[in-house]
Structure 1
Amino acid sequence: MAAQFNGFGEKALPFLKALNFHQSREWFQENRALFEQDLREPLGDLIDVLSERFGETGIALKGDRKKSQFRINRDVRFSKDKRPYTDHVSAILSPDGTKMEQGVFFVHVGLERCFAAVAWWQPAPPLLQAMRMAIVEKPKVFRAMVSALKKNGLKIGAEGQLKRAPRGFEAVTEPDLAAAVRNRHFVVRHEIEPGRIHSPALADELFDFVRRARPLLDWGRAIEGRVARS
């Protein structure tokens, strides 16, 4: 049977708002059934639907309805903020279905914002270096990828961008390339209207976003493959 997503429950965001106010294990346990029904299970359905659709169209992203979700419990061991719960739910789909890979899809449903992203987030130094070298050594390929994203209504973000050129790239002067080699991540985002999370059409919206973001995935994947073979 094909996977099905019917949207997040109508009480999904009100639940997160109330949880953020109470920040109490007792309150959470009393309302766990609502969390499961309106947030956790729908997010699992969304993971299943997208994994199935990505597989059918040759996009190397997949997830597990339980393991791909991030815990709503916060890790407070090394944080001054001791609130036990987050104000959002989120999940990641990756090439092998784990949270440890690069070139991933991420979805976040929360109080402050709802969004999705396709990302190469904090690549390990060898991969990041290879990406920077590819930008400089094959600028036409990089610019073609950027142009394809632009045509699809997307743009690589500058979040976390270095203020100065990384070592070895000081001589890069062309503005677009100089900015690109300062990136520590390569990410495109898609904002989700909060009201849309309750619609089954959200799965179509997110699938279309990933389809439009595929040039970034393919660009990074080709570089990653060369690093793995070296």
Structure 2
Amino acid sequence: MGPHFSEQTFDFLEELEHRNNREWFEEHKPVYEIELKARMLAVIESINAGLGEFAPQHLRPPNKAMMRIYRDVRFSHDKTPYKTHLAAFWPRQGLEKTGGAGFFVQVGVQSVMVAGGSWGPGPQQLRAIREYLLEHHRAMRGVLADVSRTGLADPLAGNPLVRAPKGFPADHPAVDLLQNRSWAMTGFLPGAAALGEDFTDLVLKRFRALAPLVDLLNVPLSSVTPLQREAATGRREQGDSTAV
């Protein structure tokens, strides 16, 4: 019997859809702590045990893997303070601060999303992937085809550009891959799957299928340093040369 969620978990999330305010959340926080947070941490612990068999470099303490339910509303028109789903992320160890590829699960009432790869990589990460594909596009095509054949994830969507990215040859045999701006493959389960005792097995089955994509992406992504990332996003002043 594996850890899973409860009807009370979904009742809380459904109510949160309609009462997304701090007063309601604080009043019902004991339910959140037991039926959402504690259950999510148990699910993550179980997934960690499975990842140890095929992706040990992605193991992460449950409290680090679990994503906050509090929304960042600073730059959003939607000011509701809470997410209406639960989520966790397992990046490659050592690449947490530089946008490494990883595994992701999101649990909602209507569906569960299981994904692997790099979501919306930043400029430095995207360049690193594209430069790697100039020489390794056949390997990438093979991995994408293998994952698709499992039937456990949808084909890569990629949010592609309409033409070759600036600085890359338009006539390169990998141009269709170079146009991609996102590198994650996703699969979906019905929300009710999260209520079953085999829930973590279902997630791990999909993570295992996605592992070759995550591993391949982390080859070029491991070359991006924290300093490069901060410089690309403007988080560090130009004159600050402190090593990271």
Does TM, scored on the shorter chain, surpass 0.5?
A: yes
Q: Supply the AA of the counterpart residue of 1:160.
A: N
Structure 1 CA distance, aligned partners of 2:7 and 2:94? 29
| Residues 1:71 and 2:57 are matched in the alignment | no
Q: Is the Cα contact below 8 Å between 1:63 and 1:97 reproduced in 2?
A: no
Match of 1:186 in 2: 183
Compared CA separation, residues 225 and 28, structure 1 to 2 (3 A): closer
Offset of 1:14 from its aligned partner? Answer: 1.8
Q: Is the Cα contact below 8 Å between 2:95 and 2:222 reproduced in 1?
A: no
3-state SS of 1:126 partner: helix
Match of 2:163 in 1: 164
Structure 2 CA distance, aligned partners of 1:156 and 1:226? 26
Compared CA separation, residues 23 and 227, structure 1 to 2 (3 A): closer
Offset of 1:57 from its aligned partner? Answer: 3.2
Aligned positions, number: 223
Identity of aligned residues (%): 28
Query: What's the TM-score, normalizing by structure 2?
Result: 0.81
The higher-RCO structure (CA 8 Å, 6+ apart) is: 2
Q: Supply the AA of the counterpart residue of 1:115.
A: M
Structure 1 CA distance, aligned partners of 2:89 and 2:161? 26
Moved more, 133-142 or 91-100: 91-100
Q: Is the Cα contact below 8 Å between 1:47 and 1:93 reproduced in 2?
A: no
Offset of 1:111 from its aligned partner? Answer: 4.1
Q: Is the Cα contact below 8 Å between 1:68 and 1:97 reproduced in 2?
A: no
Match of 2:237 in 1: none
| Residues 1:28 and 2:25 are matched in the alignment | yes
Match of 1:109 in 2: 107
Instruction: Please give the residue correspondences for 1:63-102 in structure 2 after superposition, counting only pairs within 5 Å.
Output: 63-96=60-93, 100=97, 101-102=99-100
Offset of 1:170 from its aligned partner? Answer: 4.2
Offset of 1:112 from its aligned partner? Answer: 5.0
Structure 2 CA distance, aligned partners of 1:58 and 1:69? 18
3-state SS of 1:107 partner: strand
Offset of 1:8 from its aligned partner? Answer: 0.5
Compared CA separation, residues 185 and 30, structure 1 to 2 (3 A): same
Structure 2 CA distance, aligned partners of 1:9 and 1:69? 18
Match of 2:192 in 1: 195
Offset of 1:99 from its aligned partner? Answer: 5.2
Compared CA separation, residues 126 and 81, structure 1 to 2 (3 A): closer
Match of 1:205 in 2: 202
Structure 1 CA distance, aligned partners of 2:26 and 2:194? 24
Structure 2 CA distance, aligned partners of 1:127 and 1:82? 30
Moved more, 197-206 or 149-158: 149-158
Q: Supply the AA of the counterpart residue of 2:42.
A: D
3-state SS of 1:117 partner: strand
Structure 2 CA distance, aligned partners of 1:139 and 1:11? 47
Match of 2:238 in 1: none
Q: Is the Cα contact below 8 Å between 2:55 and 2:211 reproduced in 1?
A: no
Which of 123, 126, 129 does residue 128 from structure 1 map onto? 126
Q: Supply the AA of the counterpart residue of 2:116.
A: V
Offset of 1:159 from its aligned partner? Answer: 4.3
Moved more, 194-203 or 23-32: 23-32
Moved more, 117-126 or 23-32: 117-126
5+ residue gaps in structure 1? none
- Aligned Cα RMSD in Å? 2.4
Runs of 4 or more, structure 1, over 4 Å off, are 225-228
Structure 2 CA distance, aligned partners of 1:224 and 1:76? 29
Which of 120, 135, 138 does residue 137 from structure 1 map onto? 135
